[in-house]
Structures are given as structure tokens and as C-alpha cells.
Amino acid sequence: MLMKNAILLTLIVTSFSGFAAAESLVPGSTEAVAFVGGSDGHGTIGAGLAKAINTRWLAIGELAYVNSRAVEFGGNAHYLFPIKNPKFTPYALVGLGVFHSSAGRGSTSFGANIGGGARWQTGDNWGVRPELKIFVGDGSYARFTIGLYYKFGR
């Protein structure tokens, strides 16, 4: 149900994208992101901060709660692919992650993050960001989220 609602929200918000200005990353600018989604049948909610390194690279740190029994922290880099439509920008992500579960006796896993997503610029400073991230380590998993981002420093 959560996944269906997230997809519906994405479709509604992106239907207004024809009214927005073109997206561009401003080196040194900061973005805030909030997201919801799922991972292996568990709900996920989280937030993060990103810094534009240049017009194509974002460095981002994220913190997420998974089913209220686990926490995930990731330090990632997003590479935004240049395409002709500046309101839609696909990206690839790589980074490092830590996953800590308090279920049972508790455990902590360290690993690599890989994945990708797309950014739909839906306003002058904000947009929608669906993303698929795969954590590769002990207890590997995939996570799909829908996020909203807001740009500061424009």
C-alpha cells in the first residue's frame, strides 16, 4: 500500500512539471531531501542533506529508519547524466553505508551502496526523486524510495 501511494504521489507531482523552470545544479549549493519507501517488505522513512560539488556531482548523507527496528546511514555520491530535457535528470549513485538493526541481539553491517534514480524538477527550487539503492554487504538488500528535494543557495 505504501508503495502504491508513493507512486501515485510521484505521478501527481510530476504532472505539474511543465510549469517549472529548468533544473541546474549550482556548485556549492545545498539540498535537503525527505523520502519514504520500502525495503524487503519493510517501510522506510528518511532524510538527508546534499552538497553540489559541481554541475554534475552531488555528495549526499542520508539517515533512514527501517520498520522502526533498524537505522541506516549512507554517504553517497550522485552523478547526474546530462540529457536534453533539463526537467528530468537520471543519476547513478555509489557510496558507503552502515546498517544497524536492534532486532534480536542487534547487528551492524558495513557495505557499499550502488543504484540510481531520476530527478524531476517540479518547481524553481524543488522536485521529486524516485530512487533504487542496493546495499552490498552482510545482509544485502534493495530499497526503493520516493523523495522530495529542496534546493538552498540559488
The string of pLDDT tens digits covering residues 113-127 is: 999 999 999 988 899
Q: Which three cell numbers stand for residue 108?
A: 551492524
Lowest mean pLDDT among 22-26, 51-55, 101-105, 143-147: 22-26
Average pLDDT over residues 93-120: 91
Residues present in the chain in total = 154
Is there a contact between 132 and 144 (Cβ–Cβ < 8 Å)? yes
Q: What is the pLDDT of residue 106?
A: 79
Q: How large a percentage of the chain has pLDDT more than 70?
A: 83
Q: Which three cell numbers stand for residue 88?
A: 528530468
Q: Which three cell numbers stand for residue 46?
A: 528518511
In this prediction, residue 63 has a pLDDT band, given cuts at 50, 70 and 90, of very high
CA atoms within 13 A on the CB side of 58: 27
Q: Which fold has domain 2-152?
A: Porin (2.40.160)
Domain residue ranges in the chain: 2-152
